[in-house]
Amino acid sequence: MRRLAEAVYASDGGAAPEITMKPPETVEITLRGGRKQASLVLADVAVRDDGDACLPDTALVGALAMETTPNKAVVFLVYDGQDGPDSGSEEELTRLLTSLRVPDKDKITTTVVTPTP
């Protein structure tokens, strides 16, 4: 998650953001009709201003990691600038991350879309 925050919130001038990690939490999510434990981590990000108007002053980054098989995991990441009136709160990002639903394999389909000129 630290790498995501650094990549997303580094300024064009190369100034790295200041990242404050919160303690990880164990949460339960629904997975294929059952409940599974996952690890949830949030971080506050302070963006170092060097005149890059595209970046917020602060941001919230979150990650939910869940083991899928021994030695394999999936990680769901979200990030949100915190400068606007519609910025997501910690509670909202936690709700978003923990609402992850994985369908049964027999219900997963793939649709190939070919762009037209």
Of the pLDDT bands very low, low, confident and very high (cuts 50, 70, 90), residue 103 is low
pLDDT tens for residues 17-42? 999 999 999 999 877 677 889 999 99
The whole-angstrom separation of Cα 64 and Cα 94 is: 9
Q: What is the predicted pLDDT for the residue at 52? A: 62
pTM of the model: 0.77
* Domains present along the chain, CATH in parentheses: 2-107 (3.30.1130)
How far, CA to CA in Å, does 84 sit from each of 13, 20, 63, 102, 116? 23, 20, 22, 31, 37
